[in-house]
Amino acid sequence: MGSLHCRSCRYGFMPPYVLERVAVQGSERLRNVARHTLTTDQTFRTQRGPQQVVEPLTAPLPRATPGQPARYIHSAEHRQELPGRLIRKEGEEASNDPAVDEAYRWLGATYRFFWEVFERDAIDGRGMPLIGTVHYGQDYDNAFWNGAQMVFGDGDGELFNRFTASLDVVAHELAHGVTEREAGLVYAYQSGALNESFSDVFGSLVRQHYLNRTAMQADWLIGAELLTDQVNGRAMRSLADPGTAYDDPVLGRDPQPGHMHDYVETQADNGGVHINSGIPNHAFYLVAMALGGYAWRAPGHIWYDTLRDPRLAADCDFATFAWLTEDNADRRFGRQSREVVAIREAWRAVGVTS
């Protein structure tokens, strides 16, 4: 039970229940890949402190100049050693390794989002270097934030592509670092689901910002590029319609609920953090659609204000979070504002408030 109350767990993108399903329903190769990924993930899930990066450079990595990221992309060269060999650092030309260059590009896009929208200078707000490692392990079907850096597997090539192919997956992992620094949300049950939801919300917003899409134009999907054409699905998660992202003979059916009536009580997945995150995800989507325009503006600022609110307890539940978002909307826009009304109606629509 220790990992259920860990504040510094490793945050993997791929829900364990997906890998567990593949370990039973997949081909012999896919079963072996899924089991190996689960074993690797179990190791980093049960470690209790942020993993220290052993950086091969002789001097500490310089912090970013405000408004300019400091990116360092390494290759693990299919081993499970971090950070691996430094391949590309800030300002250098493309490496011609697609995973390296995708990680570099998408970490830059995520940095620009947080800087341009929230004036936040990297993960810690003080120019923390963005350290990424690609080619982690052999056919590793996951990506994670370990408290110090982002790590990306290459996928198995049959069900899942390399994890750097998706901007919102890269942004999702970086956002775990932001949440860890700001709120330290316990990675279990409702607070853990909020932790996952923050990463999905910011992951979607980064994609929308990069593509300059309004709430109406956005697809509201997470991990669309991750699925190969052999999978019957659109993505790993949908904020617009939780539970509909995929329905596949091997992966099974997307189990995310979009309403408290369908809340999943479970000890698995740290108390359902990847499952029940569908409820706050959908609440954010409803707010963004009600307000229209660019979702990173009013809705994004309200969620970011709430993430930084000292009243956001590490073990915050959905109902308390709903109240905090409404109160932060009130502080920013006023009690009678359409933003407050949209938030109140959204939380009511997903069954968190009555």
Active site residue 282: no
**Nearest residue to 221 (alpha-carbon basis) of 175, 142, 285, 174:** 285
Rounded CA gap, 117 and 128, in Å? Answer: 18
* Contact (CB, 8 A) for 48 and 84: no
How far is the C-alpha of 322 from the C-alpha of 87, rounded, in Å?
Answer: 43
Residues across the chain: 354
Residue 175 vs residues 170, 243, 273: alpha-carbon distances, Å: 9, 23, 15
Question: Are the CB atoms for 257 and 276 separated by under 8 Å?
Answer: yes
Out of 74, 172, 176, 274, the active site residue is 274
Torsions phi, psi of 201, nearest 5? -60, -50
Contact 276, 193 (CB under 8 A): yes
Whether residue 36 lies in the annotated active site: no
Rounded distance between C-alpha atoms, residue 187 and residue 11, angstroms: 8
Which of 55, 90, 102, 173 is catalytic? The answer is 173
Catalytic annotation, residues: 173, 274
